[in-house]
A and B are shown apart, each in its own frame.
Chain A
Amino acid sequence: MRTILYIIQKEFIQVFRNKRMVPIIFVVPIVQLLILVNAATFEMKRITMAVVDLDLSGSSRQLTSKFQGSPFYRIISAPFSYEQAMEQMQKGEVDVILQIPNGFEKTLIKENHVGVQLVVNAINGASAGLINAYSTNIILDFNREILIEWLNPAELGGIRRIVTESSFWYNPKLNYTTYMVPGILVLLVTIVGLLLSGMNIVREKEIGTIEQINVTPIRKIEFIAGKLIPFWIIALFELAFGLVLGKLLFNIPIEGSLWLIFLSASVYLFVILGFGLLISTMTNTQQQSMLISFFFMVVFILMSGLFTAIESMPAWAQQADLANPLAYFIKIMRMVMLKGSTFADISNLFYSLVVYAVLIIGLAVWRYRKVA
């Protein structure tokens, strides 16, 4: 036991001796929370639009002003031809072109129906879908207004209407920040845990000090525990720091119990640190270790459901996600922090993490050899 304490002491001294490491430990969470939370948003706030109004009638102007009135749209130009608008799209200046055809109003009255064209820049498929949905809704809205304005009540009465009321639970204002913060806290402890532990043993190998440790009477398990615990403490500290920041900066809700959050986090961290350790037992240089950690981290993060929903992945990817510790922990964090789920709700996820931790640390201990 005393040996472990010495190793822990040594590790702490080494981490804090590096003058530039300390700011990194504090600055990384702040930067991540501030930048990630604000940058990682799919919310469409400003859709730039070019309107090609070939009709120039009262109705076409009314339709244009309908878009102008929407907080989502910014009409940046009104070119006289489709070609001109298209050139602006080529340059990347507009997201969507609305073309109102010549004779729009007349055709509408005469033939009872008329088309308007929406041309959407679809390089980003997801936003294109939303832009299309928003724009179509605005046009349909306008259509409804015209009906009420132009028709008498008798004619109007024949039309059936279904009124949809939508409500959003747990996050009525659709605040994306609330959703992102729990996931980003997970990212934070993962990056700190995986990179620091992944490079640690390799560094001793590369510099050659591992041999000095190997000739001491320290036992394998003591050495590994001594290497893991400091980073475990640092990462848990990061989580606490991140939670405080999230509360202060973004006023994120913490519906569930803090104890449950930290309990799951401490188990989760053993998985991540075990991973880092396993990588460092299998590599010889820090460059290798970093590259491998980075590779796994990117795959884990992208498949974790942090940015895109797990449900929309293909079935094989969802199966593969069973081996992704981030997916478990992000789900736990979101359930506990946003919906106030209790231990009973997350017990399956929690026990999976426990099993995972035991397996991965067992593997790392087994792989670690006390030979150079």
Chain B
Amino acid sequence: MKRFWGFVVKEFLHIFRDYRTLLILFGMPAVQLILFGFVITNEIKDARIAVLDLSKDETTRQITEKITSSGYFLLDRNLHTYSEIEEAFREGDIKMVLVFEPDFARKLEKERIAHVQLIGDASDPNTANILVNYATGILNNYLFSMNAATIPLQIIPETRMMYNQELKGVFMFVPGLMAMLMMLISALMTSLSITREKELGTMELLLASPLRPMQIVVGKVFPYVFLAFIDACIIILLGYSVFGVPVRGSIALLLFENFLYISMALSLGILISCITNSQQLAMMISLVALMLPTILLSGFIFPVENMPKILQWLCHIMPPMYFIIIIKSIMLKGNGLFFIWKETLILIGFTLFFILLSVKKFKIRLA
């Protein structure tokens, strides 16, 4: 046992000696959380639009005013002919063009119907779609206030946003960021640290020492459990204090699930290092096999339900997806174990599977 602790101390020394890595390990969650929180947003704000007003009357001016004062749109320029639209899209940052037909106000009063055209720059389809939707909404509202006295039989939708009333993007990102960073620290760092000993040839020294192989592996992994745990706490604390992301459920349960996920990631890291011999390869495998699924196939940024069927299946064999479901459930919905026992069992299953597999592979290497 004493030998084992000596080995753990050596590993800690290795990590703490390398202050640059340490700085990044602890700086990364802070920087990324702040980036995600402030910068990465799908909210539309000040999108530049152009107006082609062929009518130039009081009503069209009012509508334009309504649209530009909504905060979503910024009037970049006024166009005078249809042919200018193409040019505006191509050279400028114009995202949408609003076209009023000639005689707009008169038609609205006399014929009770008038036409507006919304042209979106759909080379970015997502933004175009949202902008056109928003503009339509503003037009409907304007019309509604105009007609207010005369419309009979109104159905009024009343919306309530559950769990995240202000629609903050950071609520989405905190759980995902935890999944990503802990995977990075646990799996990637462990696999690199073990393959490094192989590459430098010191692995043979370790194997020839009286330490048992099991002790070597556990000793290697131990410091990273510690580091990953600290990172998880940093994210939760920062999320709470800077962005107001709540922990509505039990903190003990949250920490337990974190611990489970870290164990899963570590056993995966051990598995990777058992089947590779160079750091470069370990890194490539980790990037393709770990980071890609953690960022993309987990519901971190992109909802799983929107993906094609095959990718959804793929998501279901990736541990991060379950972890993110668990974390969201505990932190944002305030659910207890009753709601997430299935996901928890799956994570335990993954952990056991990876450990068994690496024990098998590890023995083969020794032979």
Contact = CB atoms under 8 A, between A and B. Distances in A.
Interface of A: 18, 20-21, 24, 27-28, 31-32, 35-36, 38-46, 48, 63, 89-92, 95, 108-109, 112-130, 132-133, 135-137, 139-140, 142-143, 146-147, 150-151, 155, 157-172, 174-176, 178-179, 191, 195, 199, 203, 206-207, 283, 285-288, 290-292, 294-295, 298-299, 302-303, 307-309, 311-314, 317, 334, 338-339, 341, 345
A176 B157 contact: no
A362 B193 CA distance: 33
B114 to A, nearest CB: 5
Interface string B97-133: 0000000000011001111111111111111111011
Nearest to B86: A169
A152 to B, nearest CB: 11
12 contacts: A35-B297, A36-B296, A39-B311, A113-B155, A122-B171, A125-B166, A139-B155, A160-B109, A167-B117, A169-B122, A174-B128, A290-B279
Nearest to B72: A312
Q: How many residues of B sit at the interface, in one of the four size bands?
A: 35 or more
Contacts of B192: 286-287, 290
Contacts of A179: 123-126
Contact of B118 (A92, A128, A167): A167
B152 A147 contact: yes
Nearest to A168: B122
B91 interface: yes
Contacts of B139: 162, 164
Contacts of B161: 120, 122, 128, 132
B356 interface: no
A159 B306 contact: no
Contact of A20 (B151, B189, B281): B281
B367 interface: no
B155 A170 contact: no
Contact of A115 (B32, B150, B156, B172): B156
B306 A42 contact: yes
B284 interface: yes
A320 B37 CA distance: 16
Contacts of B46: 311
B39 A317 contact: yes
Contact of B303 (A124, A161, A178): A124
B58 interface: no
A178 B302 CA distance: 17
A116 to B, nearest CB: 6
Contacts of B24: 291-292, 295
Contacts of A118: 157-160
B39 A38 contact: no
Contacts of A92: 325, 328-329
Contact of B40 (A44, A170, A174, A302): A302
